[in-house]
């Protein structure tokens, strides 16, 4: 299922990026459904399309929200969207390349998985291509274990280190630090999880830079698809105690706080007239605060 792009006039680069994000969604969802089948569940993703209107009421593309609630994945959302139009004046001033011209288009994939077993890490991944007066890719992925296992953390980081390696010896360290700085909860003085990579504003000034930055963004998606299912399969049958489940629910409160207060993607969706359910699919299904 693909987003409705009514009201948009995508150029070749935007269409290529859109096609990749939709393909990545299909690959990830198929793999997650396969994991559910291995656990004895016939749960599948439910896909809900949505249309967008901009702040002036004009048609501005849309998206598809994919959600699955199963035996292994307590709640996982894999969303794609392709939207465009005009930023509201106050929001345009905060967006790269939109301060003088508020027209924009954006296409991307966003994923958050909250797991039934507290030994299996929650995870976030998103990649996107945004056009204002400039064009750029951004995104990343980070692991969020309620009960951290250093082997899982090391495997996750090693896979993304490998994805970054062809693009320069400094790339992984730069984007790892960016993730550490970004996925931090100031009012708690703690990191949201065990980190990963985060990047933004990889500008596409010509065909060569588009090809390079698009290839990197594809490699980020492929790295996620490779490493996270392995981590899930390694832990999804572990026994856990009531105390460990409670620790997971308390930890989820920190995750919710970050997404509602600090997350740029949440703000972008709300400020650009996105689908509320799709934007807030990142919130965990059950949580407690203490």
Domain limits, the chain: 12-282
Cα three-residue angle 73-108-136, rounded to 5 degrees: 140
Q: Which is higher by pLDDT, 43 or 52?
A: 43
The pLDDT assigned to 269 comes to: 79
Residue entry with tokens 């996982």: 76
Report the catalytic residues: 124
Buried-state track 168-188, b at ≥16 Cβ within 10 A, e below 16: eeebbeebbebbbebbeeeee
Q: Quick one: CA dihedral 262, 214, 106, 225, positive or negative?
A: negative
Residue 52: pLDDT band with limits 50, 70, 90? confident
pLDDT digits (tens, 9 = 90+) for 146-175: 999 999 999 999 999 999 999 999 999 999
The pLDDT assigned to 268 comes to: 77
pLDDT digits (tens, 9 = 90+) for 118-135: 999 999 999 999 998 899
Which one of 41-55, 80-94, 182-196, 267-281 scores highest in mean pLDDT?
182-196
The pLDDT assigned to 40 comes to: 97
What average pLDDT does the segment 12-25 reach? 97
What average pLDDT does the segment 246-273 reach? 89
Q: Which of 63, 91, 75 is nearest to 3 (CA)?
A: 63
What average pLDDT does the segment 179-207 reach? 96
% helix, strand, coil for the chain, step of 5: 45, 25, 30
What average pLDDT does the segment 86-112 reach? 79
The pLDDT assigned to 156 comes to: 98
What average pLDDT does the segment 177-196 reach? 96
Token pair of 230 as six digits: 């392995």
Q: Which is higher by pLDDT, 4 or 206?
A: 206
**In 69-170, which ranges are E strands?**
73-86, 103-115, 122-131, 135-144
| 12-282 has CATH 3.30.450.20 classification | no
Residues in the chain, overall count: 290
The pLDDT assigned to 279 comes to: 84
Residue entry with tokens 């360290």: 173
* Dist CA 198 CA 187 (whole Å): 21
The pLDDT assigned to 80 comes to: 97
User: Looking at residue 56, what DSSP letter applies?
Assistant: T
| Percent of the chain topping pLDDT 70 | 96
Residue entry with tokens 């984007």: 175
Residue 92: pLDDT band with limits 50, 70, 90? low
Cα-based distances in Å from 97 to 16, 92, 105:
21, 8, 12
Token pair of 249 as six digits: 């629910």
- Asked if pLDDT for residue 98 goes beyond 70, the answer is no
The mean of the pLDDT values for the chain is 93
Rounded-to-10 torsion of CA 88, 93, 96, 102: 40
The pLDDT assigned to 193 comes to: 96
């Amino acid at each position: 299922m693909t987003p409705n792009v009514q009201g948009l006039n995508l150029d070749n680069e935007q269409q290529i990026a859109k096609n990749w994000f939709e393909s990545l969604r299909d690959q990830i969802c198929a793999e997650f459904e396969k994991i559910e089948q291995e656990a004895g569940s016939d749960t599948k993703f439910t896909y809900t399309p949505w249309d967008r209107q901009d702040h002036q009421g004009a048609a501005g593309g849309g998206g598809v929200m994919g959600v699955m609630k199963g035996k292994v994945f307590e709640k996982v959302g894999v969303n794609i969207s392709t939207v465009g139009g005009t930023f509201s004046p106050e929001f345009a001033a905060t967006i790269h390349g939109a301060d003088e011209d508020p027209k924009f288009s954006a296409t991307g994939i966003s994923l958050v998985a909250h797991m039934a077993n507290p030994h299996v890490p929650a995870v976030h991944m998103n990649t996107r291509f945004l056009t204002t007066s400039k064009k750029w890719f951004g995104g990343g992925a980070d692991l969020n274990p309620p009960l951290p296992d250093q082997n899982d953390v090391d495997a996750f980081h090693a896979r993304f280190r490998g994805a970054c390696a062809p693009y320069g010896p400094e790339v992984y360290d730069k984007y790892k630090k960016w993730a550490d700085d970004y996925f931090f909860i100031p009012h708690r003085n703690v990191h949201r999880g065990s980190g990963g990579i985060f990047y933004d504003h990889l500008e596409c000034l010509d065909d060569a830079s588009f090809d390079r930055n698009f290839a990197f963004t594809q490699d980020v998606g492929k790295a996620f698809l490779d490493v996270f299912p392995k981590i899930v399969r390694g832990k999804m049958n572990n026994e856990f105690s009531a105390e460990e489940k409670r620790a997971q629910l308390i930890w989820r409160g920190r995750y919710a706080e970050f997404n509602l207060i600090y997350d740029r993607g949440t703000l972008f969706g709300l400020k650009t007239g996105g689908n509320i359910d799709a934007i807030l699919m990142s919130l965990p299904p059950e949580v407690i605060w203490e």
